[in-house]
Amino acid sequence: MSNKFATFKMLSGYSIPLTGLGTYLIEGDDVLKTLDKALAVGYRAFDTAAMYGNEKDIGSALKELLPKHNLNREDIFIQTKLNPSDHGNVAKTALEKSLKNLQCGYLDLYLIHWPGSYTVSSRSEENLKLRTASWATLVEAKEAGLVRSLGVSNYIPRHLNQLLSNCYGVKPVLNQMEWHPGCYDNELKQLCDKEGILLQAYMPLGGNGNLSLLRDNVVTSVAKQLGKTPAQVLLRWCLQQNVAVIPKGRSMEHLKDNLETDFIIPESDMKLLNNIDKVRFDWNPYSVL
């Protein structure tokens, strides 16, 4: 089965494509152009966030493009995230605003973007109270039919265990993390696997420019040996460990290539990739209480 159709059945009973399109920094006219190409080559899952500032553009684009590609709302998977400034009792209102911007009737998945709140210090114990309140009000939104599934992003084992101990009867179905050979946490992976929570990798290709893992000697060597692109190797590294991916892409070539991950990386090469120098390109959630 082609990877573009591979899915994972989440704890909520709904399925999510294992490869989706990340839309961070895709704005304005680029949204319509990129989503048009993505739908044409087979993407059916799209990731955004309130703080990306592109929810309205994505909503308008999908409203125009779904009929063009003979698709209905039920054929695609839309996920977005709570702005870290909107933790607490206002979380449901924030979700409703995202839903209005995206013009999609319901959200497939809504994530708490960050375990901390921008309204308090990352070292404040108030963060736990605020994210717990956020979850409580998001559960209400789920019960009201506004969102089908709830998840989190940037939750390390401590944050996840706290949530699981007080989740108001609704466990998170997914945890989105920076995840690539230079940045992964075996303890977190084991916890998610044990609890049935899907890990989803953002920035699965690493950083940009000369710092990108696409230029790493180990990655390029494995890619050459397998006859694949460095990007395909990095995405397959995740998928081979049952970690979903949401790579970005704008060109038709990159969008197509990022779906072509139906191959196996030999265990010896997986070990080489696992031992790449560790580097984090984005937020560090380990500093948040």
Cβ-Cβ contacts under 8 Å for 117 (sequence gap 6 or more)? 84, 85, 87, 88, 126, 127, 130, 131
∠ CA(139), CA(144), CA(148), 5° rounding? 65
Q: What is the pLDDT of residues 69-112, one digit of tens each?
A: 999 999 999 999 999 999 999 999 999 999 999 999 999 999 99
Is 52 one of the catalytic residues? yes
Full set of structural domains in the chain with CATH = 3-209+241-252 (3.20.20.100)
Is the whole-model pTM more than 0.85?
yes
* Confidence band for 1, pLDDT divided at 50, 70 and 90: very low
Distance CA 248, CA 111 (A): 19
Q: What is the pLDDT of residues 235-266, one digit of tens each?
A: 999 999 999 999 999 999 999 999 999 999 99
Residue 209 has pLDDT above 90, yes or no: no
Q: Which listed residue (52, 110, 155, 184) is catalytic?
A: 52
Q: Which residues are annotated as a binding site for substrate?
A: 113
Question: Across residues 209-228, what is the average pLDDT?
Answer: 91
Residue with token string 């409580």: 136
Q: Which residues are annotated as a binding site?
A: 113
Element (H, E) at 47: strand 45-47
The overall average pLDDT reported for the chain is 96
